[in-house]
C-alpha cells in the first residue's frame, strides 16, 4: 500500500527545511536553472496583482514580464531565496525554443520558432541546456545603494493558465535539463500561460532584512530579439525581507503583506462554456470507506483517513483563477472528449487561500465528512470543508481510461502558493485523494457524544456542483462503536469491511503525522 500523503503543516515545514539545508550547501551562483532543484521551496506572499497582467492578453509582445507590486519573504541563516515573484507570460501565441548540440565538441545552437518562422538566437545565448543565459536583470536599491544581478532564465518553469479560455494544457516540458551531457531540449510556454523563469534555490542572496525597491527586466538584447516592448519587458516591485528570528521557521515562510485588494488576473470568460455531451467521457467520484480509524490519547477525538477517487473515463480537472479578493479564485471544471481534447468548461465554485495551517489553495465542497448515529442522522459534522485535489493514491488502474502516470501527485504544484495567478487541481481516472484527519476540527470531536453505534460517512461532491457521470455512488459508511470502561476510558470498536486490514502500522502513522 502506498504511503498516503498528509496535509499537516509540520510535514510541509520539514520538507522546506530539508530542501533549505540542501540549498544552503550549494555555492552562490547568479545562474537561474528552473527545475534543477527539488520542488519544495519557499512561497512568498503577494500584496497586489497589477492590472497589467489582464492587459497582457491584448498586447503585441510575444512575451510579457509580470511581477507583483510587493513581495515579502523570510531570511534563512542570513540568506534569502527568492525569484522575486516574477512570471513570463505568453499572451497571444505559444513561445517555443529548441536547442541542440551537434556534438560534445560544439556549442549549443538555439532557435526560436516564431510566428514568422525560425529565428536563430545569438551565439552564446545558451552555454548549457538549463535556460537562456543572462535573461533577467535585477536591480535592488535600499538607502541609496543599488545592487545589480544578472540571472539565467528557463521558460519551462511550473506553468499556470492565466485565463479560463486558454488551451487545456501547456504541452511543453516542465523544467530545463541540467545533465551536462544533454544533447537537445525544448522549452516553451503555451498561449495564455505564465511561468516563473527564475529558480529560487539556485539564487540565494546575502541581503539584510529590510525593504528594497526592485526593478526586474528582460535583458535588452533578448527584448530586442523577441520584439518585446519596453513596458512589457520591465516591472518594479517592493521586496520586504523579514528576519527569521521573528518567529518563522525555515526559509521563505510567507507572511501576508498588507496592501490593496488584488485585481483580476485575467478577464472572465466570454460565455459559460459547454457541458460535456450526454454520451461523452465524465469523471465519476466515489468514496471509499473511512479507514485507519482510532481515538486520540484523551479519547475525545475520532481520527480517520478518507479517500475520494475517480472511477470515470475522464479526469476531473478544476482550474482556479484569481479574482478580486486576495484569497479567492473562481473555479472552473473542464471537460474532454475520448481523445483527450478539451470540449468545454463551466464554473463550479470557488477556491480559497487556506492561511491558518495548510498555507495553500483549497477547492470548496469537494467532499464532506459526517458522524452519523445508529439511525444514520447527523451527530457531528467535520470542520473539513475544503480540499487541495491531488492524485495521492492509486485506487483502481483497471477502470477504462485509467491514467497510469498521473500528473499532480505533488502537493507543492497541485495546491499552489499565495503568489499563484491560477491553480490547477486534478483527480485522474483510477486515482484517489486521501486526507488524514489528525487536526481537531477535521476529525470528529466526541467529548460530549454518548456511547453507542455510529457511522463515519464520507460523501463526494456533496453540493453536486461538479459534473460527473453518476452521483448515486458518492457515499460510503463505516460502522463503529463507542463505549466507556468502568475506569472512565473511552474505547472504540471499528467494524471490519470484509477481509481488509486497514489500520496503518505505528511506524507509518508516525511518519505521516510528524
Whether 9 contacts 174, CB under 8 Å: no
**Res 51: pLDDT:** 43
Radius of gyration of the chain from Cα atoms? 25
**Res 381: pLDDT:** 87
Burial class (CB in 10 A: 0-12, 13-18, 19+), 287: buried
Taking alpha carbons only, the member of 493, 9, 455 closest to residue 250 is 9
Confidence check: pLDDT of 97 > 50: yes
CATH number for the segment(s) 285-512: 2.60.40.2360
Task: State mean pLDDT over 399-415.
Answer: 71
d(CA 222, CA 322): 30
Task: State mean pLDDT over 185-204.
Answer: 87
**What three-state secondary structure class fits 508?**
helix
Task: State mean pLDDT over 371-377.
Answer: 93
Give the other-Cβ count within 10 Å of 184's Cβ: 13
For residue 4, name the pLDDT band (cuts at 50, 70, 90): very low
d(CA 391, CA 393): 6
**Res 76: pLDDT:** 78
Instruction: Classify residue 153 by its DSSP letter.
Output: E
Q: Which three cell numbers stand for residue 239?
A: 521586496
Sign of CA dihedral 38, 239, 89, 424: positive
Confidence check: pLDDT of 183 > 70: yes
Q: Which three cell numbers stand for residue 15?
A: 520538507
For residue 15, name the pLDDT band (cuts at 50, 70, 90): very low
Confidence check: pLDDT of 52 > 80: no
Structure confidence by residue, pLDDT tens digits, 429-486: 998 888 887 655 568 889 999 999 999 999 999 999 999 999 999 999 999 999 999 9
d(CA 478, CA 497): 8
Alpha helices by DSSP H, listed for 416-491, are none
82: Cβ contacts below 8 Å, ≥ 6 apart? 42, 44, 71, 73, 200, 203, 205, 239, 252
Give the other-Cβ count within 10 Å of 201's Cβ: 24
d(CA 485, CA 314): 49
d(CA 111, CA 119): 6
d(CA 22, CA 39): 12
- Break the chain into its structural domains and give their ranges: 9-246, 285-512
Average pLDDT, the chain: 77
DSSP strands (E only) in 69-222: 70-74, 80-81, 87-90, 95-100, 109-114, 117-120, 132-142, 145-153, 159-161, 184-189, 193-195, 204-205, 210-218
Structure confidence by residue, pLDDT tens digits, 228-267: 999 999 999 999 998 865 443 333 323 323 333 323 344 4
Instruction: Classify residue 244 by its DSSP letter.
Output: G
Give the other-Cβ count within 10 Å of 104's Cβ: 8
Q: Which of 9-13, 65-69, 411-415 has the lowest mean pLDDT?
A: 9-13
CA torsion angle for 360, 470, 458, 422 (degrees, to 10)? 0
What percent of the chain is helix, strand and coil (3-state, nearest 5)? 10, 40, 55
Amino acid at each position: 500500500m502506498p504511503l498516503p500523503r498528509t496535509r499537516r503543516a509540520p510535514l510541509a515545514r520539514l520538507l522546506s527545511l530539508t530542501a533549505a539545508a540542501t540549498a544552503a550547501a550549494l555555492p552562490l551562483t547568479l545562474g537561474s536553472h528552473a527545475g534543477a532543484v527539488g520542488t519544495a521551496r519557499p512561497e512568498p506572499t503577494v500584496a497586489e496583482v497589477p492590472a497589467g497582467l489582464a492587459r497582457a492578453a491584448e498586447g503585441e509582445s510575444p512575451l510579457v514580464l509580470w511581477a507583483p507590486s510587493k513581495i515579502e519573504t523570510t531570511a534563512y541563516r542570513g540568506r534569502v531565496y527568492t525569484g522575486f515573484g516574477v512570471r513570463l507570460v505568453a499572451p497571444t501565441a505559444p513561445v517555443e525554443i529548441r536547442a541542440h548540440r551537434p556534438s560534445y565538441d560544439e556549442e549549443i545552437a538555439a532557435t526560436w520558432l516564431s510566428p514568422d518562422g525560425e529565428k536563430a538566437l545569438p551565439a552564446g545565448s545558451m552555454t548549457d541546456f538549463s535556460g537562456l543565459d543572462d535573461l533577467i536583470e535585477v536591480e535592488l536599491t535600499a538607502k541609496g545603494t543599488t545592487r545589480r544581478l544578472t540571472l539565467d532564465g528557463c521558460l519551462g518553469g511550473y506553468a499556470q493558465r492565466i485565463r479560463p479560455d486558454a488551451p487545456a494544457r501547456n504541452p511543453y516540458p516542465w523544467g530545463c535539463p541540467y545533465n551536462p551531457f544533454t544533447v537537445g531540449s525544448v522549452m516553451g510556454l503555451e498561449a495564455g500561460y505564465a511561468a516563473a523563469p527564475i529558480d529560487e534555490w539556485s539564487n540565494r542572496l546575502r541581503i539584510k532584512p529590510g525593504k528594497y525597491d526592485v526593478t526586474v527586466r528582460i535583458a535588452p538584447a533578448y527584448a530586442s530579439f523577441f520584439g518585446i516592448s519596453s513596458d512589457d519587458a520591465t516591472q518594479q516591485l517592493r521586496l520586504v525581507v523579514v528576519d527569521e528570528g521573528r518567529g518563522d521557521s525555515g526559509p521563505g515562510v510567507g507572511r501576508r503583506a498588507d496592501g490593496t485588494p488584488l485585481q483580476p488576473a485575467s478577464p472572465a470568460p466570454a460565455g459559460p462554456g459547454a457541458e460535456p455531451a450526454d454520451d461523452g467521457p465524465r469523471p465519476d467520484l466515489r468514496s471509499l470507506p473511512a479507514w485507519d480509524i482510532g481515538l486520540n490519547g484523551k479519547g475525545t477525538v475520532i481520527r480517520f483517513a478518507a479517500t475520494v477517487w475517480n472511477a470515470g473515463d475522464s479526469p476531473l480537472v478544476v482550474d482556479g483563477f484569481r479574482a478580486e479578493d486576495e484569497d479567492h479564485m473562481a473555479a472552473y471544471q473542464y471537460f474532454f472528449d475520448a481523445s483527450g481534447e478539451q470540449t468545454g468548461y463551466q464554473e463550479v465554485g470557488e477556491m480559497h487561500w487556506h492561511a491558518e495551517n495548510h498555507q495553500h489553495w483549497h477547492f470548496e465542497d469537494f467532499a464532506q465528512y459526517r458522524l452519523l448515529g445508529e439511525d444514520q442522522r447527523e451527530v457531528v459534522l467535520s470542520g473539513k470543508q475544503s480540499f487541495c485535489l491531488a492524485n495521492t493514491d492509486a485506487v483502481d488502474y483497471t477502470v477504462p481510461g485509467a491514467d497510469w502516470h498521473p500528473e499532480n501527485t505533488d502537493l507543492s504544484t497541485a495546491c499552489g502558493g499565495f503568489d499563484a495567478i491560477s491553480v490547477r487541481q486534478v483527480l485522474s481516472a483510477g486515482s484517489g485523494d486521501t486526507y488524514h484527519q489528525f487536526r481537531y476540527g477535521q476529525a470528529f470531536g466526541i467529548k460530549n457524544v454518548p456511547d453507542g453505534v455510529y457511522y463515519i460517512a464520507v460523501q463526494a461532491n456533496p453540493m453536486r456542483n461538479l459534473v460527473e457521470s453518476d452521483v448515486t455512488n458518492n457515499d460510503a459508511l463505516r460502522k463503529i462503536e463507542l463505549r466507556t470502561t468502568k475506569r472512565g476510558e473511552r474505547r472504540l470498536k471499528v467494524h471490519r469491511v470484509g477481509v481488509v486490514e486497514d489500520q496503518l502500522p505505528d511506524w507509518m502513522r508516525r511518519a505521516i503525522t510528524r
